A = this chain, B = another copy of it.
Amino acid sequence: MVEIIKVKTGSQGLYEFTAQLQAMVRRSGLREGLCSLLIQHTSASLTIQENADPSARIDLENWLSRLVPENDPLYTHVFEGEDDMPAHIKAALTSTTLSIPVIQGELALGTWQGVYCWEHRHQADYRKIAVHLGG
């Protein structure tokens, strides 16, 4: 079973969609298997991170944006905006695909783990993620 889900984003940062993903797993009736994700964009990415304290996400965003600043004279790929080339680099450094085992009908995440869409553009509407559920 494959579905394309849409995750609402906005400005740069991490957007959790664990509940949306878990709802899809429950709807499918899958008890044990694998949930695989691909974000269909190259200016946003996927990550599994702590979902307890929001300060961790803020620091992740600020640290990565400092490592990959805009207006770096190295960039030649500039016609899609100042945030475009940094977005591609950030996507390459984080994840475009993830695979999460499913146990007893639930994503086998650790206690404090959430699944996030990491928006690297200043402004986006939503992002499309292809999700495969298999046995």
Interface residues of A (CB under 8 A from B): 1-2, 4, 32-34, 36-42, 47-50, 53, 55-56, 58-60, 62-64, 66-68, 72, 74-77, 85, 88-89, 91-103, 108-113, 128, 130-132, 134-135
Contact = CB atoms under 8 A, between A and B. Distances in A.
Nearest to A72: B63
A32 B88 CA distance: 28
A42 B34 contact: no
A56 B85 contact: yes
A47 B96 contact: yes
Contacts of A102: 2, 132
Given A33-B134, A130-B108, A74 B59 contact: yes
A49 B42 contact: yes
B76 A59 contact: yes
A50 B80 CA distance: 12
